[in-house]
């Protein structure tokens, strides 16, 4: 792809003799909203961890915003923001302090810091709660704060790992509203995962579906619907990943994961 901001080639990750990600290659165009879908245990989270420098791959190459994510980590890290699947705020700090902490780690100078924090906290409607400890926040407020924090250093790529999981429809709506604006007004590339397939159907400009460590389909919504002959993404998804087989492999995968945790990997 000529203007790819995320380029992944021949990415493989093995845990012992289990292959979580199997020779995966794909790219995301600059400014695109890209949905990365798949059932639990498909290898999505592992892939995102590798893309965001949290985990080293067994093999393969990754370029983020032109930087080698495996060897030029700091430049790659400056290029993206992320909202993790699990909450990653410090509960004992205030909203403002969480933002400040992030700004200092990303080397944003004091003046820009104040301006950006103000702007973003206003955007996610948390400015009036800036001095409250995060532990007093609801799930939706925490999520909004994480979005504001992830954008503080003006990333070119924004990773959102199940950003709307467990949130009510109002909050989900709000979050998609910010994200869409971000893409349209600032040209930020959005890379997200979700189990709510209607979100991918509505917002994604390109969709990849992963299963058993492989990308099994990639294309626009129309491509995928045409290929499967289905009317909705959900139906196409189920057709591609199968509903029966899932349960079996999910449970064996769960067992494998528990085993891994016990061994401390």
Partner 1 sequence: MNAIYILWLRELKRYSRSRSRMIGSLGQPILFLFALGFGLGPVFQRAGQGNYFQFLGPGVIAMSILFTAIFGGIQVIWDKQFGFLKETLVAPVPRWQIMLGKTFGGATIAVLQGVVVLILATIFGFRPELGLLVLALTFMLLIALFFTGLGISIASVLADINGFQIIMNFLVQPVFFLSGALFPLNNLPKVISNITAVDPLTYGVDGIRGTLTGASHFGLAIDITVLLILVMIILTIGATLFSRIEA
Contacts with partner 1, residue ranges (CB under 8 A): 49, 52-56, 73-75, 77-78, 80, 82, 84, 86-93, 97, 100-102, 104-107, 133, 149, 261, 264-265
In a 13 Å sphere around the CA of 68, the CA atoms on its Cβ side amount to 5
Min dist. Cβ of residue 243 to partner 1 (A):
31
Alpha-carbon distance values, 10 to 52, 61, 191 (Å): 16, 7, 19
Min dist. Cβ of residue 173 to partner 1 (A):
25
Min dist. Cβ of residue 146 to partner 1 (A):
9
Min dist. Cβ of residue 251 to partner 1 (A):
22
Q: How far apart are CA 36 and CA 207, in angstroms?
A: 6
Element containing residue 4 per DSSP (H, E): strand 4-15
Q: How far apart are CA 174 and CA 164, in angstroms?
A: 10
Kindly state the tokens that stand for 58: 């067994």
Q: Which is nearer to partner 1, 106 or 203 (CB)?
A: 106
Min dist. Cβ of residue 64 to partner 1 (A):
12
Q: How far apart are CA 222 and CA 206, in angstroms?
A: 10
Q: Which is nearer to partner 1, 170 or 261 (CB)?
A: 261
Q: Which is nearer to partner 1, 117 or 197 (CB)?
A: 117
Min dist. Cβ of residue 265 to partner 1 (A):
7
Q: Which is nearer to partner 1, 101 or 203 (CB)?
A: 101
Q: Which residues contact 42 (CB under 8 A, 6 or more apart)?
A: 210, 211, 212, 213, 241
Q: How far apart are CA 192 and CA 36, in angstroms?
A: 6
Q: Which is nearer to partner 1, 1 or 54 (CB)?
A: 54
Min dist. Cβ of residue 153 to partner 1 (A):
9
Count the Cβ atoms, other than its own, within 10 Å of residue 32. 21
Count the Cβ atoms, other than its own, within 10 Å of residue 62. 21
Q: How far apart are CA 98 and CA 248, in angstroms?
A: 41
Q: Which is nearer to partner 1, 23 or 97 (CB)?
A: 97
Q: Which is nearer to partner 1, 130 or 239 (CB)?
A: 130
């Amino acid at each position: 792809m000529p203007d790819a901001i995320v380029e992944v080639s021949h990415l493989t990750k093995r845990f012992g003799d289990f292959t979580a990600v199997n020779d995966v290659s794909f790219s995301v165009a600059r400014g695109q909203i890209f949905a990365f879908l798949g059932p639990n245990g498909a290898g999505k989270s592992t892939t995102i961890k590798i893309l965001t420098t949290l985990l080293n791959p067994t093999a393969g190459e990754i370029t983020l915003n032109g930087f080698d994510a495996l060897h030029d980590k700091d430049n790659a890290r400056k290029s993206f923001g992320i909202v993790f699947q699990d909450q990653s705020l410090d509960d004992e700090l205030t909203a403002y302090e969480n933002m400040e902490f992030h700004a200092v780690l990303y080397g944003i100078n004091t003046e820009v810091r104040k301006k950006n924090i103000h702007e973003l906290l206003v955007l996610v409607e948390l400015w009036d709660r800036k001095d409250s400890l995060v532990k007093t926040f609801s799930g939706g407020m925490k999520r909004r704060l994480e979005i504001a924090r992830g954008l503080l250093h003006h990333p070119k790529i924004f990773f959102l790992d199940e950003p709307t999981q467990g949130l009510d429809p109002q909050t989900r709506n709000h979050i998609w509203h910010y994200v869409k604006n971000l893409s349209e007004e600032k040209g930020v590339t959005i890379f997200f995962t979700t189990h709510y397939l209607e979100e991918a159907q509505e917002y994604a400009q390109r969709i990849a579906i992963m299963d058993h460590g492989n990308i099994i389909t990639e294309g626009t919504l129309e491509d995928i619907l045409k290929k499967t002959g289905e009317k909705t993404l959900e139906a196409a998804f189920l057709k591609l990943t199968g509903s029966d087989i899932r349960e079996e492999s999910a449970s064996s995968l769960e067992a494998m994961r528990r085993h891994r945790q016990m061994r401390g990997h």
